[in-house]
Amino acid sequence: MLYLIGLGLGDVKDITVKGLEIVRKCQRVYLEHYTSVLGSCTKEELEAFYGREIIMADRDLVESFDHEGSNEDEILKGASTDDVAVLVVGDPFGATTHHDLMLRAKEKGIETKAIHNASILNAVGACGLSLYKFGETVSIPFWQDEWKPESFYDRIVSNRKNGLHTLCLLDIKVKERSVENIMKKRNIFEPPRFMSTQQASQQLLEIIERRKKEGEGASNGSEVFDETAECVAMARIGCDDQKMVFGDLGQVMAHTDMGKPLHSLIIAGNIEDYEREALTPLKP
């Protein structure tokens, strides 16, 4: 059987009782660690708590498989008789890659089961904004010299036009190789990088500035979403040292150090009175 088990957002004890019982009976336990990372515990702490060895699973291990049906799919090897767990930070279905794994298992006749847990997508409700009033979720990637996409900006504009809040998931780079190392086929990995709410805000402000210059009054989004937009910066949600700050994009978000990762940024839409009541204590 293949189990996909959500770990929640904080430390070892955020796994569910059901999830823990399953992990402790599994023959092999993988930890997926490229779509997210655990807030405040290490692999060793997890191993001690579970009494199980943990195999770190990067993108290659989780996603690589052989279309010819041979047994190159290491995670699924023997899973029709053995119990195999893949641990996922948050909820198992926060990333579509885990659906692929489930489908591959089903194709091989392996039974599957998901154990749900908190995800950043629902835990952001902690700030006081109504979860029912969020529009499409966006991902903000690290810009590179020649690559500065801004489609996430237009999706935020579209949400704001409908009065909706936007959760911005901020980029994570884990086990990435430089272009040079990829070219030379060297398995040398860059140190992990996690986008801060400050970096995300600065990228957004750069887009807003460019649009305002280019637009000169035209409808290019900056009339709906500019530096005065109200936002919530969130860090380490679900951890003991979680932090939430409410303020505008230009003055507050771009200048507030939220500390260690992981960070998320919410661009608010129309804020109702009952939401503002909960947000007000979060002003810096």
User: Interface with its own copies by CB under 8 A: which residues?
Assistant: 6, 8-18, 20-21, 90-94, 96, 99-100, 102-103, 106, 114, 116-119, 121-123, 125-126, 128, 130-139, 158, 162, 164, 169, 237-238, 274-275, 277-278, 281
**Pairwise CA distance, residues 218 & 226, whole Å:** 14
> How near is the Cβ of 121 to its own copies at its closest, in Å?
5
> How near is the Cβ of 197 to its own copies at its closest, in Å?
19
- Three-state secondary structure call for residue 77: coil
β-strand partners of 5: 87, 115
Nearer to its own copies (CB atom), residue 131 or residue 188: 131
Nearer to its own copies (CB atom), residue 39 or residue 247: 39
Nearer to its own copies (CB atom), residue 147 or residue 274: 274
Nearer to its own copies (CB atom), residue 42 or residue 122: 122
- Residues 6 or more apart whose CB falls under 8 angstroms from that of 86 comprise 2, 3, 4, 5, 30, 31, 32, 57, 62, 75, 98, 101
- Say if residues 127 and 235 touch (Cβ distance below 8 Å): no
> How near is the Cβ of 175 to its own copies at its closest, in Å?
23
Other Cβ atoms less than 10 A from the Cβ of 217: the count is 8
β-strand partners of 6: 88
> How near is the Cβ of 123 to its own copies at its closest, in Å?
5
> How near is the Cβ of 92 to its own copies at its closest, in Å?
8
Nearer to its own copies (CB atom), residue 180 or residue 240: 240
Nearest to 231 by CA among 221, 244, 246, 243: 246
Nearest to 141 by CA among 130, 131, 132, 152: 152
Cis amide linkage into residue 262, ω under 30° from 0:
yes
Nearer to its own copies (CB atom), residue 30 or residue 134: 134
> How near is the Cβ of 284 to its own copies at its closest, in Å?
17
